[in-house]
Structure 1
Amino acid sequence: MLKQQIDQMAGYKLNVFHFHLTEDVAWRLQIKQYPKLTAAENMQRNQGKFYSVAQIKELIQYCKDRYITLVPEIDMPGHSAAFTRALGVDMQSEKGLQVVKNIIEEVCETYDVPYIHIGADEVKITNQQFLPEIIKYIQQHKKKVISWAPGGDYDDQTIQQLWKDEGNQKKDMRAGQYIDSKFLYISDFDPLNSVVTIFNRQLGGKPRGDSSLLGAEFCLWNDRRVAREADLLTRNAVYPSMLAFAERSWKGGGYPDVVFNIGPDSSNRAKAFVEFENRLLEHKQKYFRQLPFNYVKQTHIKWNLFGPFENNGDLSQIYWPENHDVLPEDSIAEVKATGGTVWLWHTHGPQVKAWLPSPKENTTWYAYTKFWIEADSTIMLWADFKDLSRSGADATPPKGEWDYMKSKLWINGERISAPQWAYPGRGSGQLEEPLVNEGFYYRPPLSVDVKRGWNKILVKLPIGLFDPLMDWQVPPKWMFTVMPVCKDKGLNYSAMELKFEPNGK
């Protein structure tokens, strides 16, 4: 699977493969001095599975043959519970520091790589000398150091990989070189939106790279256990995102902030995305028929958004778009939106821009559109109201509900029931329990009966407070996906060739 991804990277001129090899659940890199690190009894997941010295050497050469640099990451001193379990010492202790130096020496002498990534994020530093000594030690072995930012205190020679905005990061960045990965975790995005937001990105906040901005990296984090390793490619938009990322990183440009919408039809941004989408889908048909490619055409779907309706925290309140007193097709929309997936507001707003210009808590919105079909039919439908992040462990929606916000979907006035969740209401934090059918792109599409002529779609989108509804791993996601699809030859789906007009004219 790794080689398959590297082959596709090479085809689109991506030239760095960052390989995160150690974590709390397990240490996956063979270290000959310390065999306990990769002993099965010290692993919490996939016991006994690790990469041998020969395999890593082979992978490094496989990358080199395709003009790709492999960057190994050994996370320190955080994300190191597997190290502590195996060796009985904390990395930041005097003994632990010496063990880490021994590991670094073995890695540097064994592998022909120019960079070592040390992680160094999400940890309380108790030994102030740990990072300076480790960085100096790696540099003495003629390797460049990369680390996460925010993270520890680094020297000016350490390349910082940005993963979120925090504190004095902008000041720090003036002193050295950096890589942008902010809002580039595809395991946090649904497939349709991942392509949109990556295409829109102005990487590093600059129209092009320079002596400080070395580039960018999009990331796939499999913190949650998967039932099959192939699920990492089917449950994340790896290849569609790769093509969008190649386009943006080589072409430059993009738009400030983080943009989660395609944009008004008349905007240059929307026109550019339509042109890109056509090329993306051409490549999908030519090169990805037998590889998972979770993206379908969505720029033909147009929505009218009606709101805001004050719900005062009562998410079940009913308003005129669903009581039939006034027809949405005869009404003027507050907002017009485009796409199979539409975000009204994002958890990380206001930095993240979605379709609502001024989103408000405790309000309800409705989305409406029509599509024309030539005969009575049963169609397949991708539909969802919450995209569960695979980088964490969001809670599954309750039984009989699409989400925790009382969202609803009607087609021709008939309410469409939520899927029968494999694990309804399963709480957050269940990192060892694989996802089963929680996402529209890895469960069978819904079957929906439609009639010849115009078919009406109405979506109800309430929200309460913008604070997490249950805990930090279950943030409110004010969004929906409604997308008629058909099965392609091969592994994937395509959009149905339907005419959408929100006013039915």
Structure 2
Amino acid sequence: MKSIYTIAFVVLALCLPVTALAKSDHLLPRPQKISIDEKAKPFKLGRKVSITDSKGVKALRAFFEEHGCKTDSKAKATVTVTYTDAIEGAFDHKLAGYDNEAYTLEISTDAIEITAVSETGVIRAAQTLAQLAQGYKGKPKLEALTITDWPAFKVRGYMHDVGRSFISIETLKKHVDLLARFKVNTFHWHMTENQAWRFEVKAYPQLTSSGSMTRYPGLFYTQEQCKELQDYAKERGVIVIPEIDMPGHSEAFTRAMGFDMQTDKGVAVLKEIIEEVVKVFPDAPYIHIGADERTITYPDFLKIMTDKVHSLGKMVAVWNPIRGVAISTSTGADMTQMWSTGGKVIDGMPNIDCRYNYTNHFDVFADLVGIYKSNIYYEQQGTADVAGTISAYWNDRKTLTEEDIIKQNNFYANVIASAERAWIGGGRRYIDNCNNGGTNGGGGTTLPNSGEEYEEFADWERRFLFHKEHTLKGEPIAYVKQANVRWRITEPFPNNGDKDAVFAPETEGPKESYTVDGKEYNTSVATGAGIYLRHTWGNNIIQTHYGATNYSNCTSYAWTYVYSPKKQTVGAQIEFQNYGRSEKDKAPDAGKWDRKGSRIWVNDNEILPPVWENTGVAINNEVDLRNENFTARKPIGIELQKGWNKVFIKLPYVPADGVRLNKWMFTCVFTDLNGDNAVEGLIYSPDKELD
């Protein structure tokens, strides 16, 4: 999938100073093919233009209007759209309900020429134009260039779980708009859950009554709002896939109706609900009916529901795996969405890879590396069986605000990283350890210290941080630069379950190796602001710094030296247990960073944790997740001296009472005092190297 030219383009972009970068170097996702005419003058915006487009794509006209261009058929500056049957050299795999998105874009001093197979392709070209116009202080210009571009995978999406939470329709529209600018083309709308039913059903208003909801009672989406959002998404080339989960995740339905979905009455009501859903979402090619996490026992339940959807002219998506029924074309599924290690491709239909893209379990830094490096279900580009990927999160645990949902799940960074991988294709290895029989797995969450994978990720990070400052300005994004952060980490020392046990790194200081009781313990270098030693799902599934080995009852150490060009006060983003947004884990005790005994020192001064708002609180899913994660609190103020500053971390791994998913990890990076951006000019080097 990757041309030599593209690799060279990435390396060149990384070598140039930020001020020298042309706007094409900020394109995200990276285009498949691009050539720049450095001798030609750019296309100036803010003037009259003549637009010729037989289909009148709104997104294209909107771009020029937003940049002060009035349309005039006699204007010197021209914009011409040509529709064709195919784009030469572009890849396309068929997926029912999804357009061919390939396009070419040629920009010269007074002319812009777009060629596309579909209106969606024109929208993608307009989204590229919008990015090319960003970052200018005065009137923006468009570089003279030629782009041929297409997605490797058809589905590049995200899911909002609004059944367990609620996100306002205004915010949902904002997400559609902002993410579409990165060519994200699918919004999976998970609208019903045990906690609440959020889709208005005219025939059964009791479904959205306050009394049927246990969380955010009375909040739901009217049918008019749903139609409005779908129209809004369509203009931006985004497909909405509404989900009405059945027969599981349906306690709200049972409370409202007085009977279960898997009854004669329940089946009859669901048929009526499906009719209303289809009327509200006429442009949705698929209706998602869930079908997961509850054994299907009602005779032919899945077939009855899929037949109903098909009778209304729509296709059916289901989760994969499900219980009680085999997924196949004979039971009516048209597409599956794979989740967890149990999700496997069902032959004969498209499958969406959502398996390890559950961002409610993600930390801010390491998991994003893993999902960006990974190919999509062992494939380099889309196939008849592998349609793409969706980034999903689940809000089992209540949060204080809508913004907390977005920031604590690192929503924008995760979705955009996942979407670029789905657009450009590739990925050397799959993230897991080939437990589904693939031959190129084992990618894990570790960022290599150098090489092509490192360069590719660092280039993505550079472009994402540019858009954090421009396209996404003001959005709640905790992610900061991490590709320059280096650590030295020891092999684990057995501690026999004693989290307070002291080992050689504490008494002898940082060294490349240690000898204890005749055994040598070595160290190795790691890159990133967040490092896993044991992953959420175990190293046997997702490899970490320690590969596929699962250690227990041991202590490791990590350190680096941070060179500061001046004495300054900075913020420190520190974390030792990233609290999953779907977990009811116990908060740390007062004065402790986690429930395992992790500690951190800067210049030999111990850094104490903040005051935890949930210390001593009996935790359940309705207790707000508060400041356990660094994304929900201000950074800790740290004084850096001019020159080298030592950061030393102790990392015991012992059982953590009250924590279901006991992660072995650490996060540490220095930012401004608000946590918005990494501190410029710092050098992280465990060996005190300034180069």
Report the TM-score range of the alignment, normalised by the length of the smaller protein. Answer: over 0.9
User: 2:481 pairs with 291, 297, 320, which one?
Assistant: 297
Flag as ranges the 4+ runs of structure 1 deviating above 4 A: 329-333
Give the CA deviation at 1:326. 4.4
The answer (yes or no) to whether the contact 1:330–1:503 under 8 Å persists in 2 is no
User: 2:569 pairs with 369, 378, 385, which one?
Assistant: 378
**What's the counterpart of residue 17 of structure 1?**
187
**What's the counterpart of residue 366 of structure 1?**
557
User: 1:257 pairs with 411, 423, 431, which one?
Assistant: 431
User: 2:350 pairs with 165, 177, 193, which one?
Assistant: 177
The answer (yes or no) to whether the contact 2:226–2:280 under 8 Å persists in 1 is no
SS in 2 for 1:364: strand
Q: Is 1:126 matched up with 2:297? A: yes
Q: TM-score, normalised by structure 1?
A: 0.93
- Aligned amino acid, residue 200 of structure 1: K
- Aligned amino acid, residue 533 of structure 2: L
Paired positions, count: 494
Report the Cα distance in structure 1 between the residues aligned to 2:445 and 2:285, rounded to whole angstroms: 38
**What's the counterpart of residue 524 of structure 2?**
335
Give the CA deviation at 1:243. 2.0
The answer (yes or no) to whether the contact 1:394–1:427 under 8 Å persists in 2 is no
Give the CA deviation at 1:406. 0.7
**What's the counterpart of residue 345 of structure 1?**
534
SS in 2 for 1:173: coil
Q: For 1:260-275, what aligned pairs fall within 5 Å after superposition?
A: 260-275=444-459
- 360 and 234 in structure 1: CA distance in 2 versus 1, 3 angstrom threshold: closer
The answer (yes or no) to whether the contact 1:384–1:439 under 8 Å persists in 2 is yes
Give the CA deviation at 1:495. 3.7
Q: Is 1:397 matched up with 2:573? A: no
Q: Is 1:501 matched up with 2:691? A: no
The answer (yes or no) to whether the contact 1:329–1:503 under 8 Å persists in 2 is no
SS in 1 for 2:488: strand
- 180 and 305 in structure 1: CA distance in 2 versus 1, 3 angstrom threshold: same
- 333 and 449 in structure 1: CA distance in 2 versus 1, 3 angstrom threshold: farther
**What's the counterpart of residue 141 of structure 2?**
none
User: 2:417 pairs with 239, 244, 247, which one?
Assistant: 244
**What's the counterpart of residue 230 of structure 2?**
60
Report the Cα distance in structure 1 between the residues aligned to 2:474 and 2:581, rounded to whole angstroms: 23
Q: Is 1:212 matched up with 2:398? A: no
- 454 and 129 in structure 1: CA distance in 2 versus 1, 3 angstrom threshold: same
The answer (yes or no) to whether the contact 1:383–1:481 under 8 Å persists in 2 is yes
Gaps of 5+ in 1: none
Larger Rg: 2
The answer (yes or no) to whether the contact 1:487–1:494 under 8 Å persists in 2 is no
**What's the counterpart of residue 244 of structure 2?**
74
**What's the counterpart of residue 310 of structure 2?**
139
- Aligned amino acid, residue 453 of structure 1: G
The answer (yes or no) to whether the contact 1:262–1:273 under 8 Å persists in 2 is no
User: 2:614 pairs with 423, 437, 447, which one?
Assistant: 423
Report the Cα distance in structure 2 between the residues aligned to 1:498 and 1:460, rounded to whole angstroms: 23
**What's the counterpart of residue 632 of structure 2?**
442
Give the CA deviation at 1:504. 2.0
**What's the counterpart of residue 578 of structure 2?**
387
Superimposed CA distance per residue, residues 125-177 of structure 1 (whole angstroms, 9 cap, x where no aligned partner): 231421121111111111111011111423325111001122xx54x612422
Superimposed CA distance per residue, residues 347-386 of structure 1 (whole angstroms, 9 cap, x where no aligned partner): 3221211111334221111001101123333221111101
**What's the counterpart of residue 478 of structure 1?**
664
Report the Cα distance in structure 2 between the residues aligned to 1:115 and 1:41, rounded to whole angstroms: 30
Report the Cα distance in structure 1 between the residues aligned to 2:206 and 2:471, rounded to whole angstroms: 43
- Aligned amino acid, residue 452 of structure 1: K
The answer (yes or no) to whether the contact 2:532–2:666 under 8 Å persists in 1 is yes
Greater shift in the superposed pair: 139-148 or 266-275: 266-275
Report the Cα distance in structure 2 between the residues aligned to 1:417 and 1:201, rounded to whole angstroms: 36
**What's the counterpart of residue 432 of structure 1?**
622
Report the Cα distance in structure 2 between the residues aligned to 1:347 and 1:14, rounded to whole angstroms: 27
User: 2:496 pairs with 288, 303, 312, which one?
Assistant: 312
Give the CA deviation at 1:333. 4.7
Report the Cα distance in structure 1 between the residues aligned to 2:473 and 2:544, rounded to whole angstroms: 31
The answer (yes or no) to whether the contact 1:30–1:38 under 8 Å persists in 2 is yes
Superimposed CA distance per residue, residues 435-454 of structure 1 (whole angstroms, 9 cap, x where no aligned partner): 22111122010012232221
Superimposed CA distance per residue, residues 284-318 of structure 1 (whole angstroms, 9 cap, x where no aligned partner): 22222211222111111111111220111112111
The answer (yes or no) to whether the contact 1:298–1:495 under 8 Å persists in 2 is no
- 182 and 286 in structure 1: CA distance in 2 versus 1, 3 angstrom threshold: same
Report the Cα distance in structure 2 between the residues aligned to 1:450 and 1:329, rounded to whole angstroms: 24
Report the Cα distance in structure 1 between the residues aligned to 2:378 and 2:550, rounded to whole angstroms: 24
Report the Cα distance in structure 2 between the residues aligned to 1:364 and 1:10, rounded to whole angstroms: 45
Superimposed CA distance per residue, residues 27-69 of structure 1 (whole angstroms, 9 cap, x where no aligned partner): 0000011011011111111111111111111111111111111
The answer (yes or no) to whether the contact 1:395–1:474 under 8 Å persists in 2 is no
User: 2:376 pairs with 164, 186, 203, which one?
Assistant: 203
- 293 and 110 in structure 1: CA distance in 2 versus 1, 3 angstrom threshold: closer
- 352 and 330 in structure 1: CA distance in 2 versus 1, 3 angstrom threshold: closer
**What's the counterpart of residue 336 of structure 2?**
160
Identity %: 35
The answer (yes or no) to whether the contact 1:296–1:495 under 8 Å persists in 2 is no
**What's the counterpart of residue 40 of structure 1?**
210
Q: Which gives a bigger RCO, structure 1 or 2 (Cα 8 Å, sep 6+)?
A: 1
Greater shift in the superposed pair: 45-54 or 129-138: 129-138
**What's the counterpart of residue 283 of structure 1?**
467
The answer (yes or no) to whether the contact 1:397–1:403 under 8 Å persists in 2 is yes
The answer (yes or no) to whether the contact 1:309–1:364 under 8 Å persists in 2 is yes
Greater shift in the superposed pair: 252-261 or 352-361: 252-261
- Aligned amino acid, residue 102 of structure 1: E
Give the CA deviation at 1:198. 2.1
- 326 and 293 in structure 1: CA distance in 2 versus 1, 3 angstrom threshold: closer
The answer (yes or no) to whether the contact 1:77–1:91 under 8 Å persists in 2 is yes
Superimposed CA distance per residue, residues 83-107 of structure 1 (whole angstroms, 9 cap, x where no aligned partner): 0000000100111111111211222
- Aligned amino acid, residue 256 of structure 1: Y
SS in 2 for 1:99: helix
Give the CA deviation at 1:329. 6.7
Q: Is 1:116 matched up with 2:313? A: no
- Aligned amino acid, residue 366 of structure 2: N
User: 2:265 pairs with 92, 95, 103, which one?
Assistant: 95
**What's the counterpart of residue 28 of structure 1?**
198
Greater shift in the superposed pair: 118-127 or 223-232: 223-232
- 463 and 22 in structure 1: CA distance in 2 versus 1, 3 angstrom threshold: same
Report the Cα distance in structure 1 between the residues aligned to 2:279 and 2:447, rounded to whole angstroms: 51
Give the CA deviation at 1:330. 8.1
- 391 and 501 in structure 1: CA distance in 2 versus 1, 3 angstrom threshold: same
SS in 1 for 2:589: coil
Superimposed CA distance per residue, residues 215-263 of structure 1 (whole angstroms, 9 cap, x where no aligned partner): 1100132222222222222222111122212210101111223444343
The answer (yes or no) to whether the contact 2:637–2:673 under 8 Å persists in 1 is no
Give the CA deviation at 1:183. 1.0
Give the CA deviation at 1:427. 4.4
- 37 and 276 in structure 1: CA distance in 2 versus 1, 3 angstrom threshold: same
Give the CA deviation at 1:193. 2.5
Q: TM-score, normalised by structure 2?
A: 0.69
Give the CA deviation at 1:493. 2.8
